Structure 1
Amino acid sequence: MIWLYRKLLDRCLVTLVRRGSFLVLWPDGSRSEYGGTPGFKAGIHLKTDEAVKRLALNPSLALGESYMDESLTPVDCTIHDVLSVLMDNQNDVSLPIIAIAAKTARLLRPVLQANDAIRSKSNVAHHYDLNGRLYSLFLDRDRQYSCAYFESDDVSLDDAQLAKKRHIAAKLKLDRPGLEVLDIGCGWGGMALTLAKEFGAKVTGITLSEEQLAAARARADQEGLSGRVSFELVDYRAMHRQFDRIVSVGMFEHVGAPNYTTFFKTVKSCLKPDGVALIHSIGRFDGPGATNPWIAKYIFPGGYSPSLSEVLGPVEKSGLKTTDIEILRLHYAKTLAHWRRRFAANRDAIASLYDERFCRMFEFYLSGSELAFRVSDHMNFQIQLVRQQEALPLTRDYIFEAERNASQFASASE
């Protein structure tokens, strides 16, 4: 039967690779070449018949798994080069086997993305309760695990992440000290601490990650901000207090499409009548889709990056008003490129925390994610929301002024 799986995989690659060049070394030592036009170049060695079978039957899942167990290895290139060829071509060709899997995943979204409070905590622990040192080895100093904001190509990752926080703070219109802010999905506390330190806000950060909670609380103590910043292990649905401002950065991807209406109704109920909310999330240009099955299994169970068409309906149903939408197009591709290089530079240290299989898993994740933003349909969006139209000025000038003032504040304090 192996000849049948090989023929099926061969036909898929003939159909898929129209741009660039792709080499396959088969388990029996033979080789096949695909494409041959200008573009990305890469090659793989399939070492076992089982790898051929799995790739033929479920390529979206088996590609990453085969790289993790080393039954697939790159030939004179990296896994990033391999994914570059495949993902660049996937934009133009829809393979039936992948399209069917994606359609099935969309039909199963009510189950796969149910994400009630118990499942949400389990999903968060899967990724965010890993060894804390892991993230310090490839993120910026503030451990911002979300899209940075590059004001120019030569900006460092640390400066781009600081710019992201200030950009979001400007949209929150923190125009007086003492404003109470809810940070939904506060991570390791960087956003909350910045809002308190630079803008005088009083911040409550909530998370479902016990590792992040402990780290965020320790940081608040170390920086002398415990009186102005508090962190709690709370599901967003259990929050019933009202705040002047609400911010959520990189958490909405974990909500799940079936829960969007509940999420935005919660934001509205927690927002004071004259309040402002800012949601920063990964999204997609090409309309509703499905989470890659490998990502869903190994990286972000229950996760999904929505299109704006899936988000704005629940926003409207909640009664909130959308006052500003910004699309960040290639900023996350640049962010992930920084993370990928830093991961590679610290690979030995990371392998000592886990093992080689974990390193290959993370390499596949970082490369695939970067390319999703660089050559595929992923982007980031920021949606500003209010309950009352009068909560914000008529023009966006206040955003630019706030960012300029924040930069001047930083220069004066250095």
Structure 2
Amino acid sequence: MSILRSFLSRVIHQGRLTVVAPDGMREEYGQPAPGFPDVTIRFTSRRGMRRIILDPRLGAAEAFMDGEMELAEGDIMDLIGLIRMNTPWDRGATLKDKTWLGKRAEWVKTRLGSINRQRRSRANVKHHYDIGNDLYRLFLDDDMQYSCAYWSRPDMTLEEAQIAKKAHIAAKLALRPGQRVLDIGCGWGGMAITLAKLEQVEVLGITLSEEQLALARQRAEAAGVADRVKFELIDYRDLAAREPGRFDRIVSVGMFEHVGAPNFDTFFRAAANLMTADGVMLLHTIGRFGRPGSTDAFTRKYIFPGGYIPALSETVAASEKSRLIVTDVETLRLHYALTLREWYARTLAHEAEIVAMMGERFFRMWCFYLAGATAAFESGGMGNYQIQFARSRHALPLTRDYMGEAEDRYSG
């Protein structure tokens, strides 16, 4: 048990963590505290314990996935939440599980892994999004919105919060009838279809996921908007070369996290080239508070290869090179945490179906992913940014009143 003692005694102070070794020996860390969970983990092998010492984040994930670490009290959401709550980003705390050299190595791996040339981008999308639409139907809302919802009221359902998110974004686009809209990273088509329903606009949604593309086209037909909503399997870089200056509005929700820091300049240059002279873009992205960082090994290996969560500073700095004007910024601090908890609850409710579909190890991995993400948004350094850009200072009204007025209209 002593192999974990030095690590856990530094981390766990509030809330109680009980660790049971394979030989039955028990050790307790921390003290019961209001709001902090009590968690008991049981190791089925010494290897599982060694994995955590060698790499606390990836090691804990793989030990849990392989059944070498089990939750006897609480669940994986409680365990990861307990650790994060003891190392909150807001108070300057951090999980000191790596040396300076180790952190530098993670930074280098993140930058090299997120170069994301076009072939690699397609492979990365296939890894996460082409694993079957049926899986996503089990835990997402009815419209299959796989991004942060907008909780404008505390008593909302996930479905209501995702509808509110789409109205919130649509209002920031300042849509007018007859405009041409581009949705970069359109997912299963929900945003594009909604925009066409809210206003008489034409929308092109682009994706690199074949499964998303097929379902998005089906949904546009079913919604009766296929004459104004088209979907295409194409990289944003190729589209910018093919159709410069075509779009009055661009929306991108949950895609920028897949661009990779080495391609930020390219992304904004492409966006600027795709827009008309008075074009407007709304970028909705996960973002890290504070300065730029790196992607953890678990996420790189299992969830989003090539992915990187940007800091606001590097996002805006990249946009400035293409002379895009930042016209509005909103920080959604806890909205994604609320969304993720809903996804996690629905995942647990469909355990039998997901295990039958994907296997036990996948189910454990998915739970670890959702739990870790939730903790990052509740206590770690993650949030969501909605950034509005314009090519011309005259493209939008002088005050933000139009946003509220449109949002009320769209919500009604």
TM-score by length of 1: 0.95
Question: Partner amino acid for 1:75?
Answer: A
CA contact (8 A) 1:102 1:289 kept: no
Task: Name the residue aligned to 2:28.
Answer: 33
Is the counterpart of residue 13 in structure 1 residue 8 in structure 2? yes
Is the counterpart of residue 326 in structure 1 residue 330 in structure 2? yes
Task: Name the residue aligned to 1:121.
Answer: 122
Q: Secondary structure at the match of 1:33?
A: strand
Q: Supply the distance in 2 between the matched residues of 1:289 and 1:377 (Cα, whole angstroms).
A: 10
1:96: how far off? 4.4
Q: Supply the distance in 2 between the matched residues of 1:271 and 1:234 (Cα, whole angstroms).
A: 17
Is the counterpart of residue 46 in structure 1 residue 43 in structure 2? yes
Task: Name the residue aligned to 1:197.
Answer: 197
Task: Name the residue aligned to 1:397.
Answer: 401
Deviation readout 1:332-391 (Å, 9 max, x if unpaired): 000111111111111111112111111111111111111111111110000100110000
Is the counterpart of residue 285 in structure 1 residue 264 in structure 2? no
349-358 or 266-275: bigger deviation: 349-358
Q: Supply the distance in 2 between the matched residues of 1:205 and 1:24 (Cα, whole angstroms).
A: 49
CA contact (8 A) 2:3 2:50 kept: no
Q: Supply the distance in 2 between the matched residues of 1:220 and 1:100 (Cα, whole angstroms).
A: 50
Question: Partner amino acid for 2:83?
Answer: L
Aligned residues: 402
Question: Partner amino acid for 1:236?
Answer: Y
CA contact (8 A) 2:268 2:322 kept: yes
Is the counterpart of residue 312 in structure 1 residue 319 in structure 2? no
Task: Name the residue aligned to 2:262.
Answer: 258
1:67: how far off? 0.6
Task: Name the residue aligned to 1:227.
Answer: 227
Deviation readout 1:291-333 (Å, 9 max, x if unpaired): 1211111111111111101111101111111000000111000
Distance 1:35 1:393, change over 3 A: same
Is the counterpart of residue 132 in structure 1 residue 133 in structure 2? yes
Task: Name the residue aligned to 2:371.
Answer: 367
Q: Supply the distance in 1 between the matched residues of 2:97 and 2:128 (Cα, whole angstroms).
A: 31
CA contact (8 A) 1:57 1:97 kept: no
Is the counterpart of residue 216 in structure 1 residue 216 in structure 2? yes
CA contact (8 A) 1:217 1:231 kept: yes
Q: Supply the distance in 2 between the matched residues of 1:136 and 1:113 (Cα, whole angstroms).
A: 28
Question: Partner amino acid for 1:148?
Answer: A
Q: Supply the distance in 1 between the matched residues of 2:335 and 2:312 (Cα, whole angstroms).
A: 18
CA contact (8 A) 2:3 2:49 kept: no
CA contact (8 A) 2:56 2:97 kept: no
Task: Name the residue aligned to 2:410.
Answer: 406
Q: Supply the distance in 2 between the matched residues of 1:206 and 1:401 (Cα, whole angstroms).
A: 29
Question: Partner amino acid for 2:210?
Answer: E
Q: Secondary structure at the match of 1:327?
A: strand
Question: Partner amino acid for 2:248?
Answer: D
Is the counterpart of residue 355 in structure 1 residue 359 in structure 2? yes
Task: Name the residue aligned to 1:170.
Answer: 171
Deviation readout 1:163-221 (Å, 9 max, x if unpaired): 111111111000x2121001000000000000111111100000000000000011111
Question: Partner amino acid for 2:7?
Answer: C
Question: Partner amino acid for 2:226?
Answer: S
TM-score by length of 2: 0.95
Question: Partner amino acid for 2:155?
Answer: D
Distance 1:98 1:73, change over 3 A: farther
Q: Supply the distance in 1 between the matched residues of 2:235 and 2:41 (Cα, whole angstroms).
A: 43
Give percent identity, aligned residues only: 48
Q: Which sections of structure 1, spanning at least 5 residues, go unmatched?
A: 1-5, 409-414
Moved >2 Å (runs of 4+): 6-9, 90-94, 96-103, 107-110
Q: Supply the distance in 2 between the matched residues of 1:96 and 1:74 (Cα, whole angstroms).
A: 22
CA contact (8 A) 1:15 1:93 kept: no
Q: Secondary structure at the match of 1:382?
A: strand
Distance 1:193 1:99, change over 3 A: farther
93-102 or 359-368: bigger deviation: 93-102
Question: Partner amino acid for 1:12?
Answer: F
Task: Name the residue aligned to 1:186.
Answer: 186
1:101: how far off? 3.5
Question: Partner amino acid for 1:24?
Answer: V
Question: Partner amino acid for 1:184?
Answer: I
Q: Supply the distance in 1 between the matched residues of 2:7 and 2:370 (Cα, whole angstroms).
A: 25
Question: Partner amino acid for 1:90?
Answer: T
Deviation readout 1:15-60 (Å, 9 max, x if unpaired): 1112211111112221111111413321211211111211111111
Q: Supply the distance in 1 between the matched residues of 2:156 and 2:177 (Cα, whole angstroms).
A: 30
2:276 corresponds to which of 264, 272, 279: 272
1:98: how far off? 6.7
1:108: how far off? 2.8
Q: Secondary structure at the match of 1:290?
A: coil
CA RMSD of aligned residues (A): 1.3
CA contact (8 A) 1:60 1:98 kept: no
Q: Which sections of structure 2, spanning at least 5 residues, go unmatched?
A: none
CA contact (8 A) 2:55 2:97 kept: no
Q: Secondary structure at the match of 1:215?
A: helix
CA contact (8 A) 2:16 2:31 kept: yes
34-43 or 73-82: bigger deviation: 34-43
Distance 1:99 1:160, change over 3 A: farther
Q: Supply the distance in 1 between the matched residues of 2:334 and 2:342 (Cα, whole angstroms).
A: 13
Q: Secondary structure at the match of 1:391?
A: coil
Q: Supply the distance in 2 between the matched residues of 1:224 and 1:23 (Cα, whole angstroms).
A: 56
1:246 corresponds to which of 221, 235, 250: 250
